[in-house]
Structure formats: structure tokens, C-alpha cells
Amino acid sequence: MPATDIDFYELLGVSRDSDGATIKSAYRKLAMKHHPDRNPGCTESENTFKAVSAAYEVLKDPQKRAAYDRFGHAAFQQGGPGGGHAGADFGDIGDIFETIFGSAFGGGGGGRARARRGADLRYDMQIDLEDAFHGKSTEIEIEVSQNCDTCHGSGATPGTHARSCNLCGGQGKVRAKQGFFVVERPCPNCHGSGEVIASPCRDCRGEGRVDVAQKLAVDIPPGVDTGTRIRLSGKGEAGPRGAPSGDLYIFVHVKPHSIFQREGTTLATRVPISFTKAALGGSVDIPNLDGETATIEIPAGIQSGKQLRQRGAGMPVLQGRGRGDMIIEVAVETPTRLSKEQRGLLEQFRELETGDECPESRGFFDKLKTALRA
């Protein structure tokens, strides 16, 4: 069984329902026993020490522990649970996993520090609400550093080779004492690669990478919102000297829309209606983002500010099923341009008013009278 599959609880020798204090004391015992200072030169102890430290790092933190209980080690590997899409905010634990677990087990016993990965890249993309609704396949052009063709990413002039670093003896890391502990740092001479290039490649100045404009196809899924990140795995910068590439993150920004406001999967809009429609009832047609027209029934006697909900007429659920709702806020518009005839009819209407037509106004003025009398 690969060491990375060992259960954190098993590593610490505690049960899954142990409390924080039990876990802490189990960790302390093991860490003391296997501490590199007490076992100089013993790789097995060192690996165990790193592994129990990694396990404790996760289990001591209730949030990380919950993530681990749910997803296992996958919670802390690249991309987080679910993989494939971005959004899992376990970045810092991922780093812990990489540095402690990765170096404890990832090297396959070779001893050399793992070559660094290329940097992750960020690309900000503005899209319309319509695109967020339907999803969109598009192409972007970005400058990405790629492996240099001349030296095939080695960084050394073709025909020459990198030699082992003198300072770290090719280990890529150096040890230094810090208080009680001996800590490892990437070697300052070879920057952790374990190799030094005597004759750097001219095209990439020994970096092994060159910047190239690259066109990339991007699929925006329906339902994205501002803040959604889309991860294109391995599309970031090439790693130094042939190391794996980083990832490219597309940060989505949805532009404001002229008609609809959006809150999650809910779309909201304010619809002016005539005062006759408000009084008598009727319907209004609202063009939706799906290209269809939703017909909304207006009940007789509706007031300004009243919100009507149209179920399933909102935004699609990102990577899910169904759609949110649409909220239509009614705004009753008082007529400002009346013909002579209309005016006459309204004056007739006023003669017929008893005050019972508008109970809220009547109630208000009654209350006012009482208050002023008092």
C-alpha cells in the first residue's frame, strides 16, 4: 500500500471519533519518538515524522478534519474534492499536503526534492448575463511560458548537460537548525532543482521556458456567476526545466444587465404597469434570457412594490439541474399625459369615489385625524 493511502487516524493510532485532546497527545508521543533530532540519519523515522505531522495538521483543525472525513486524502490533493472544476477552497491545506506529504512520499525514495511545478495563471473574463445563462464556448489568447524547443526544457545548451549542484550535493535542499528543529529549505544555489547549468541555453537563458502566445478553447458552463473560477488543468506556466505545468484559472465576471438583476440563481426585474391594469388586473409579457416570453398574471388591485414570483424562470443551476426563480417587482405608473376625454372620465370616477376603494388611504387619514385630535 502506498504510504499516501494510510488513513490519518490510523497513522496517529486514534479512533475516528477521538476528541482534539486525544489526537494531540497521540501526535505528541509519535512526533517525539520519530523526531529527526532523536533519530539522525534514519529515513524511516523522518518519513514517519513527516506523515504524522501532516496527519495532525489536518486533524487538529475542525474544518480540515471535516473535509478529510468527507473526502479522504482527495480533499487535499490538486483541485480539491470532485476534481475537474475549481472552487474548492483548500488551497493552503493542499500546500501542506504537497510540502509535507509530497516530499515525504512523493519522491519515491529518491531523496531529491521534487522539481517545482509551473506557476498557476489567472485570466479574467468578462461575459454577458446571456452568456452566463446559456453557457459559452469561446477562445482566449494568453501568453504562456512553454518548454523551450531549443533545449527541450532542460535549460542547458544542446549538447551540454546540467551538473549536480555542489552546495546541496544534488539534493535540492539544505538543512538548517532553527531553534529546536532542523528545517529543510530549497537550496539557494540551484533553487531546489539539485542541478546547476554551466552553459545555459541562449533561447531561454537557462530557464527551459519561453513565453508563447497561445490560443485556448474555454467552455463556460451555464449558470456561472461573478466569482466562478474555471480551472484548465496543466494550462498554466510550464515548470522550470521540464517540471509539470501549473494550471490556468479563468475568473468569470458577469457584466450588469440592462433589465435583470441577479442574486445567485434568482433573476429580478422591475416592471412598470398602468394604473388601470393595477386596478383591473391583466397580464404582462416579460422576455426572458432563454428567448421565450413569460406571461405574468397581474391580480386586480395590485400595489406598487408587490413582488410576483415566477418559478423556474431564473438562472440555471451551475453544474446542477433546474433553474432558480424570477422575481417581478410591480411599479404602478400614474398617467401623466391624459386626453380631454380620459380626464373627463377620471373626474367622473372621482365623483363616484366613496373612500372604500382605497382602504389603506382611508385608514391612514382616519389615523391622522385621531392623532391630531388627541
Cα within 13 Å of Cα(99), Cβ side: 13
Which DSSP category does 97 fall into?
I
C-beta neighbour count of 150 within 10 angstroms: 16
| Dihedral angle of Cα 91, 93, 94, 99, to the nearest 10 degrees | 130
Kind of pairing between the strands at 173-178 and 307-310: unpaired
Q: Are 190 and 197 in contact (CB under 8 A)?
A: no
Kindly tell me which of 168 and 254 has the beta carbon lying closer to Zn ion.
168
Q: How far is the CB of 161 from Zn ion (least distance, A)?
A: 13
Residue 36: partners with Cβ closer than 8 Å, 6 or more residues away: 42, 45, 46, 49, 182
Instruction: Output 166 or 293, the one with its CB closest to Zn ion.
Output: 166
Q: How far is the CB of 122 from Zn ion (least distance, A)?
A: 26
In the complex, the smallest distance separating the C-beta of residue 98 from Zn ion, rounded to whole angstroms, is: 20
Count of residues touching Zn ion (by CB under 5 A) = 12
| Identity of the residue, 190 or 248, whose beta carbon is nearer to Zn ion in the bound complex | 190
Letters for 189-228 (x = contact with Zn ion by CB under 5 A, - = none) are xx----------x-xx------------------------
Contact 282, 299 (CB under 8 A): no
| CB-neighbour burial class of residue 297 (10 A; exposed 0-12, middle 13-18, buried 19+) | exposed
Residues in the chain: 374
Instruction: Give the residue with the Cβ less far from Zn ion, 129 or 196.
Output: 196
* Residue with Cβ nearer Zn ion (198 or 346): 198
Which phi and psi (to 5°) does residue 326 adopt?
Answer: -115, 135
- The contact mask relative to Zn ion for 265-284 (x = CB under 5 A, - = no) is --------------------
Site string for Zn ion, 22-61 (x = CB under 5 A): ----------------------------------------
Q: Stretches 175-183, 188-196, 245-253, 272-280: which one binds Zn ion (CB under 5 A)?
A: 188-196
CB of 151 or CB of 284, closer to Zn ion? 151
Minimum distance, C-beta of residue 99 to Zn ion, in the bound complex (Å): 18
The distance of closest approach from Cβ of residue 159 to Zn ion in the complex, given in angstroms and rounded to an integer, is 12
Rounded least distance, CB 45 to Zn ion, Å: 24
> The C-alpha cell of 338 is what?
391624459
> Considering beta carbons, is residue 59 or 197 the nearer one to Zn ion?
197
| Per-residue interface string for the shown chain with Zn ion, residues 134-173, x marking contact by CB under 5 A | --------------x-xx-------------x-xx-----
Minimum distance from CB of 241 to Zn ion (Å)? 9
Binders of Zn ion in range 59-88 (CB under 5 A): none
Q: For Zn ion, which is the closer residue by CB, 199 or 310?
A: 199
Residue from 12, 113, 125, 187 that binds Zn ion (CB under 5 A)?
A: 187
* DSSP E strand boundaries for 299-341: 307-310, 326-333
Q: Is beta strand 163-164 parallel, antiparallel or unpaired with respect to 195-196?
A: antiparallel
96 binds Zn ion (CB under 5 A): no
CA distance 245 to 108: 20
The CA distance from 4 to 353, in Å, is 82
Burial (CB < 10 A; 0-12, 13-18, 19+), residue 367, is exposed
Stretch that binds Zn ion, among 95-103, 180-188, 292-300, 356-364 (CB under 5 A): 180-188
User: Three-state SS for 138?
Assistant: strand
Shortest reach from residue 187's CB to Zn ion, in Å: 3
Strands 121-127 vs 248-254: parallel, antiparallel or unpaired = parallel
User: Which residues contribute to the site for Zn ion (CB under 5 A)?
Assistant: 148, 150-151, 165, 167-168, 187, 189-190, 201, 203-204
